[in-house]
Chains A and B, each alone.
Chain A
Amino acid sequence: MAEIERRHTIVVLVDNEPGVLARVIGLFSGRGYNIDSLTVSEVDHQRSLSRINIVTSGTEAVIEQIKALLGKLVPIHRVHDLTIEGASIERELALVKVTGDRERLVQALRIADFMRARLVDSSPGSFVFELTGNSDELDSFIDLVEPVEVSRAGVVAIGRGEIVLRPRDA
Chain B
Amino acid sequence: MSTATMSRDVASTPKTGSRVVVEALIEQGVDLIFGYPGGAVLPLYDELFKQDKIRHVLVRHEQAAVHAAEGYARSTGRVGVVLVTSGPGATNTVTGLTDALMDSVPIVCLTGQVPTHMIGNDAFQEADTVGITRPCTKHNYLVKRPEDLAPSLHEAFHVARSGRPGPVVVDLPKDILMGSAPYVKRERVSHRGYQPAMDPDPMRVEEAVELLLHAERPVFYVGGGVINSGPEACQLVTQLIRDTGFPVTLTLMGLGAYPASDPQFLGMLGMHVTYEANMAMHGCDVMVAIGARFDDRVTGRLDGFSPGSKKIHVDIDPSSINKNVSVDVPVIGDAKRTLTSLGQAWHRRSNRHDRTQTESWWQRIDGWRQADSLKFRQSSTVIKPQHAIQRLHQLTLDRDVFITTEVGQHQMWAAQHFKFDKPFHWMTSGGLGTMGYGFPAAMGVQFGHPDALVIDIAGESSWLMNMQEMSTCVQYRLPVKSFILNNSYMGMVRQWQEFFHGNRYSESYMDSLPDFVKLAEAFGAVGLRAETPDEVDDVILEMIKVDRPVIADIVVDRTENVYPMIPGGAAHNEIQLCPNENEPIKGSEEGMVLV
A69 near B319 (CB under 8 angstroms)?
A: yes
Q: In A114-170, which residues have CB < 8 Å from any B CB?
A: 167-169
A32 at the binding interface (Cβ < 8 Å) = no
Chain A CB within 10 A, most for which of B159, B319, B321: B319
B residues 146-203 near A (Cβ < 8 Å) are: 159, 164, 192-195
A22–B128 alpha-carbon span in the complex (Å): 13
The docked-state distance in angstroms from the alpha carbon of A71 to that of B317 is 10
In the bound complex, CA of A89 to CA of B134 (Å) = 33
Q: Which secondary structure dominates chain B's binding surface?
A: loop
- The answer on a CB contact under 8 Å between B193 and A75 is yes
Across-interface contacts of A61 in B (CB, < 8 A): 322, 326
Judge whether A26 and B1 touch: CB under 8 Å.
no
Indicate if the CB atoms of A72 and B319 lie closer than 8 Å: yes
Which listed residue (A1, A15, A18) contacts B193, Cβ 8 A? A15
* Contact pattern, A 37-74, Cβ under 8 Å of B = 1, otherwise 0: 00000000000000000000000010011001101111
- Contacts A64-B322, A68-B318, A72-B318; A30 near B139 (Cβ below 8 A): no
Whether B131 lies near A1 (C-beta < 8 A) is: no
Q: Is the CB of A18 within 8 A of B322?
A: no
- In Å, the complex CA distance between A64 and B139 comes to 21
B392-447 interface (Cβ within 8 A of A): none
Task: Indicate whether A65 sits within 8 Å of B1 (C-beta atoms), given known contacts A74-B138, A74-B139, A76-B193.
Answer: no
Counting contact residues on chain A (CB < 8 A from B), the size range is: 20 to 34
Chain B residues whose C-beta falls within 8 Å of the C-beta of A68 in the assembled complex: 317-319, 321
Known contacts A17-B1, A19-B134, A26-B134; A77 and B322 CB within 8 A of each other: no
Q: Which residues of B contact A69 (CB under 8 A)?
A: 319
Known: A1-B326, A65-B322, A75-B1. A22 touches B194 (CB 8 A): no
Whole-angstrom distance between the Cβ of B291 and the nearest chain A Cβ: 16
Tell me whether A80 is interfacial, beta carbon within 8 Å.
no
**Chain B residues in 8 Å Cβ range of A14:** 193
Identify B131's interface contact among A15, A22, A72, CB under 8 A: A22
What residues of chain B lie closer than 8 Å to A72, measured between beta carbons? 164, 317-319
Measured CB to CB, the closest approach of chain B to A12, in angstroms, equals 10
* A91 at the B interface (CB under 8 A): no
A104 within 8 Å of B (CB atoms): no
CA distance A98 to B161 in the complex (A): 57
CB-contact partner of A26 in B135, B193, B323, under 8 A: B135
* Distance in Å: Cβ of B440 to nearest Cβ of chain A: 27
> In the bound complex, what is the Cα–Cα distance between A23 and B134 (angstroms)?
7
Q: How far is the CB of A154 from chain B (nearest CB, A)?
A: 23
Contacts of A77 in B (CB 8 A): 192-193
Q: Which residue of A lies closest to B318 (CB)?
A: A68
Closest A residue to B191 by CB, please name it: A74
Task: Give B240-260 interface residues, CB cut-off 8 Å to A.
Answer: none
Say yes or no: A18 contacts B142, CB within 8 Å. Answer: yes
Q: How many residues of B contact A (CB 8 A)?
A: 22
Q: Are the CB atoms of A74 and B318 closer together than 8 Å? A: no
Q: Count CB-based A-B contacts (< 8 Å).
A: 52
A74 engages B326 (CB within 8 Å):
no
Q: Which residues from chain B contact A73 at a C-beta distance below 8 Å?
A: 139
- Does the CB pair A19–B130 fall under 8 Å? yes
Assess the A15–B319 pair: CB atoms within 8 A: no
Given the known interface contacts A22-B134, A30-B135, the answer about A74 and B322 at a Cβ–Cβ threshold of 8 Å is no
- CB neighbours of A74 from chain B (8 A): 138-139, 159, 193-194
Find the A residue at minimum CB distance from B190.
A169
- Least CB distance from B5 to A in Å reads 12
Q: How far is the CB of B219 from chain A (nearest CB, A)?
A: 23
Min distance, Cβ A161 to any Cβ of chain B, angstroms? 26
A15-B134 CB under 8 A given contacts A77-B193, A169-B192: no
**Nearest-Cβ distance from residue B4 to partner chain A, whole angstroms:** 14
Separation in Å of the B409 CB from the closest CB of chain A? 31
CA distance A76 to B138 in the complex (A): 13
- Measured between beta carbons, the chain B residues less than 8 angstroms from A64 are 322
Complex Cα distance, B322 from A14, in Å, reads 25
User: Which of B144, B193, B194 has the most C-beta atoms of chain A within 10 angstroms of its own C-beta?
Assistant: B193
- Chain B positions 108 through 142: 1 when the CB is less than 8 Å from some CB of chain A, otherwise 0: 00000000000000000000001100110011001
Q: Which residue of B lies closest to A13 (CB)?
A: B193
A6 smallest CB distance to B (angstroms): 16
Residues of chain B from 305 to 350 with CB closer than 8 A to chain A in the complex:
317-319, 321-323, 326
Bound CA–CA A75/B135 (angstroms): 15
Least CB distance from A49 to B in Å reads 9
B134 engages A168 (CB within 8 Å): no
Rounded to whole angstroms, the CA-CA distance of A75 and B2 in the bound complex is: 9
Is the CB–CB distance between B193 and A168 below 8 Å? yes
Give min CB distance, A126 to chain B, whole Å.
Answer: 38
Q: How far is the CB of B131 from chain A (nearest CB, A)?
A: 7
Give chain B nearest CB distance to A71 CB in angstroms: 6
> A65 vs B323: C-alpha distance in the bound complex, in angstroms?
7
Nearest B residue to A71, CB-CB: B318
CB neighbours (8 Å) of A169 from chain B are: 192
Q: Give the interface centre of A26, A68, A75 by most chain B CB atoms within 10 Å.
A: A68
Nearest-CB distance from B299 to chain A (Å)?
15
Q: How far, in angstroms, from A44 to B195 measured CA to CA in the complex? A: 21
- 22 residue pairs of the A-B complex, CB under 8 angstroms, read A14-B193, A17-B1, A26-B134, A26-B135, A65-B319, A65-B322, A68-B317, A68-B318, A68-B319, A68-B321, A71-B318, A71-B319, A72-B164, A72-B317, A72-B318, A74-B139, A74-B194, A75-B1, A75-B194, A76-B193, A167-B192, A168-B192
Known: A26-B134, A26-B135, A168-B192. 10 other contacts (CB 8 A): A14-B193, A15-B192, A18-B142, A61-B322, A65-B323, A68-B318, A68-B319, A69-B319, A74-B194, A168-B193
Residues of A within 8 A of B (CB): 1, 14-15, 17-19, 22-23, 26, 30, 61, 64-65, 68-69, 71-77, 167-169
Q: Which 7 A-B pairs have the closest CB atoms?
A: A68-B319, A74-B139, A68-B318, A77-B193, A74-B194, A169-B192, A17-B1
